[in-house]
Structure 1
Amino acid sequence: MDNRKTQTKIDRRDFLHSAAATTAGLAFSQGAFAQASNGKKPDDINVALLGAGAQGRILVNTCLKIPGVRFKAVCDIWTAYNQKRISRILGKYGHEHNTYVNYQEMLDKQKDLDAVIVATPDFWHAEHPVDCLQAGLHVYCETAMSNKIQGARKMVEAAKRTGRLLQIGHQRRSNPRYLHCCEKLLKNNKVLGRVAAVSGQWNRIIREPLAWPQRAALDQLTLERYGYESMAQFRNWRWYRGLGGGPVVDLGSHQIDIYNWFLDANPSSVMASGRTSYLDKYTHQWYDTVMAVYEYETNSGPVSAYYQILSGNRSDGYFEKFMGDRATLVVSEPSYRGMIDPELMNSDLMDWVGFVKEGRLICPEITQRIDELTTEQLAELLVVKETPPGWRMRDLKL
């Protein structure tokens, strides 16, 4: 036997725990899938997709790169478009699956599932995850966790009660650059010194309201059964109160989560201002322009954090910036936005030379080469074999 091959070979379940395999935030625990059933391979994981819209399609495309993940079911109410499109993609990759409109029917009939990926609109969080957890399935749920605090609490309670895994799609937590910045640079080596201020933004040019093929429109009875007044509302649910949360929830939740993670604290206060500046207020009930200030009390002292969303200008795109008395860190999902600017004073220069020599900081060329690795190649670098921590569940006061 070739020992070198043995050392680098990754079990498919181990692969699913790796940060590299979680480009879209997907991760499942090794101990969660101990038994094989219905003739599947021992290291296969049978998954259902609940919600086959734009985000569901992104998650499917990511999962198709992960060995051992097999889609067995797709559930979506828009059979003539969303469901049909995802089924066509899965068929090309040889994933034999059943299709459903009613997710309860899927849970009743599809007994070969291990996990469900929930990518339905926010207002169906938390009903979909809770019912899937109670059916004995592990759940990956897209952000936002819920558009109601009570719904989020029900999800946590269901995960505790059933012992199933529940993960929310804050994918930056699975990004190797963010992990390195948080653990190695900020916490272990304190490269920034004391962080006193944070800023972040997501500026973009907003698109026109989403349309739909008229021949594929849902009938009014179906729309109302699932919580929508019209096809326009169904397609643009993110902008309607009671259905979505607008860009602060869609986009800001990811970035404000980074504030909390990197600072190891939750905000003690927040003040914000917003308005609908560019869009039709009738069809866009949430603000398209928001500016907010968060105040934190951290172990190192107070921190003020600013956050901005624009919908009529994309200047500087999206990023998070942490400003300390020794350096400033800019980090974003695209690697070209990652940068540290040192405050070179006194003898600090030699410290920075040491950081580079020791590999704590790397040049842009190396970062680019890392980005070019495939999902499987990255998985060989970053593998986590223990059960994902449940600290957020434990600490959440119910």
Structure 2
Amino acid sequence: MAVCDIWEQVNLRKVSRRLDAYKAYGHKGTPYVDYKELLDTEKDLDAVIVATPDFWHAEHTIAALEKGYHVYCEKEMSNTIEGARRMVEAARKTGKLLQIGHQRRSNPRYLHCYDKYIREAHLLGRITTINGQWNRSRASCEDLGWPDGSEIDQATLNKYGFKDMHQFRNWRWFKGLGGGPIVDLGSHQIDIYSWFLDAQPTSVIASGGIDYWKDREWYDSVMAVYEYQTKEGTVRAFYQTLTTNSANGYYETFMGDQGTLLISESANRGSVYRENWVTEEQWQPWVDKGYLVKVEKAAAADAAADGAVLDVREGTVSVAEYSIPVTMEVPYHQPHLVNFFDAIRGKAKLNCPAEIGYETAVTVLKVNEAVEKAQRLEFKPEEFNV
């Protein structure tokens, strides 16, 4: 094993020491600063994990693929469509595996919801609307600093594309380096929109701005609305990311005419809700199969279902809740890495190969463009193809 990082005094030292714990298994965490030296020196690697700033993803990934290694690359696949396209082409040319880090695609809870609720049982009926958000508190969005005496020398910073230590530590907020919160956070969830709908968006309109963090280059608040055309009809999908308030955290809600799925990667949060015109008997076979668990409510809360007279505006009072009987007690990224390793061993197919990562990059990066142009932007079907 080997590790490469330009921050020698902190990241490189820390990770190298952790990898050294595997010496007993014949491995050691050989440290490098220059990724080219690592690729030229190490001869017995099977795969490379690229967890560098977005603007380096294409170069690092392509170099590793061309050296004959399988690659796991963190999302966003690239901060540019051209970079993402070259990554897909390199994976095809070399025949090596390229997994993009949209980790919800390997999360057992998301897989359960997609396989059982969306595809098999069609529990939600016709999906018409999606809502999602990732709200972060002001405190969690403060600029990152660095320990005294741990600065990277100016020549090294410049060599790798950074103006200074502040930019190195906070690259996500700089144009040309990252994509801002809509890319850092939103891409995780917007990826799920397209996955669960089995469709690509046809348009997006967005509003955002540098409303609070005035010294930053990317938009600190963004609200976007996508339009999808699915086999069953139009779906409108809203997404927001905030950096000043953490209310309700992060989640995705898929709303159909028969039910609603609310799910989050966070702390096994999630439920399925049956619309009150759908009878309990219609969902009972799926409960019997263990796909759902009925959440018992107090009698008062179920009064509407027992024939109580309600104002027409109170049509959601008696919506029944069901829990998702799948939990995940490991770090959120772990199943996606396991899927990657299993694919290398020939035991599985990648859950997010390069082509899917590319589709999501096209979908997400268009939001910043829509904010900048302050207009509705259309997607052409060919934009999603390489």
State the AA in 1 paired with 2:66: Q
| 2:5 counterpart of 1:76 | yes
Separation in 2, partners of 1:233, 1:151? 21
Report what 1:355 is aligned to: 286
| Counterpart secondary structure, 1:222 | helix
Where do 5+ consecutive residues of structure 2 fail to align?
296-321, 360-383
Report what 2:310 is aligned to: none
What fraction of aligned residue pairs are identical, expressed as a percent?
A: 53
Report what 2:252 is aligned to: 320
Q: 1:372 to 1:387 in 2, by over 3 A?
A: closer
Separation in 2, partners of 1:218, 1:391? 33
Separation in 1, partners of 2:58, 2:329? 36
Separation in 2, partners of 1:369, 1:194? 24
State the AA in 1 paired with 2:10: Y
Matches within 5 A, 1:146-157: 146-157=78-89
Report what 1:42 is aligned to: none
For 1:19-57, what per-residue CA distance to the aligned partner results, in whole angstroms no more than 9, with x for missing partners? xxxxxxxxxxxxxxxxxxxxxxxxxxxxxxxxxxxxxxx
The root-mean-square deviation of aligned C-alpha atoms, in Å, is 2.4
1:264 to 179, 182, 198: 198
Q: 1:268 to 1:351 in 2, by over 3 A?
A: same
Separation in 2, partners of 1:179, 1:87? 34
Matches within 5 A, 1:95-106: 95-106=27-38
Report what 1:248 is aligned to: 182
Report what 1:371 is aligned to: 328
Separation in 1, partners of 2:108, 2:326? 13
Report what 2:69 is aligned to: 137
1:342 to 250, 268, 274: 274
Separation in 2, partners of 1:391, 1:286? 26
Report what 1:388 is aligned to: 350
Q: 1:373 to 1:266 in 2, by over 3 A?
A: closer
2:172 to 238, 242, 248: 238
State the AA in 1 paired with 2:355: R
Report what 1:397 is aligned to: 385
Separation in 2, partners of 1:367, 1:341? 11
Q: 1:93 to 1:240 in 2, by over 3 A?
A: same
Q: 1:333 to 1:298 in 2, by over 3 A?
A: same
Report what 1:210 is aligned to: 144
| Counterpart secondary structure, 2:175 | coil
| 2:160 counterpart of 1:226 | yes
2:128 to 196, 210, 215: 196
Separation in 2, partners of 1:229, 1:351? 61
State the AA in 2 paired with 1:110: E
Task: State the TM-score, normalizing by the size of structure 1.
Answer: 0.75
208-217 or 367-376, larger mean C-alpha shift: 367-376
Counterpart contact for 1:217–1:231, Cα < 8 Å: yes
| Counterpart secondary structure, 1:328 | strand
Counterpart contact for 2:71–2:99, Cα < 8 Å: yes
Q: 1:90 to 1:242 in 2, by over 3 A?
A: same
Q: How many residues align?
A: 319
The alpha carbon displacement at 1:175 in A equals 0.3
Report what 1:187 is aligned to: 119
Separation in 2, partners of 1:150, 1:391? 13
2:49 to 110, 114, 117: 117
The alpha carbon displacement at 1:388 in A equals 3.0
Q: 1:363 to 1:371 in 2, by over 3 A?
A: farther
Where do 5+ consecutive residues of structure 1 fail to align?
1-71
1:275 to 209, 220, 224: 209
Separation in 2, partners of 1:133, 1:391? 12
The alpha carbon displacement at 1:337 in A equals 2.1
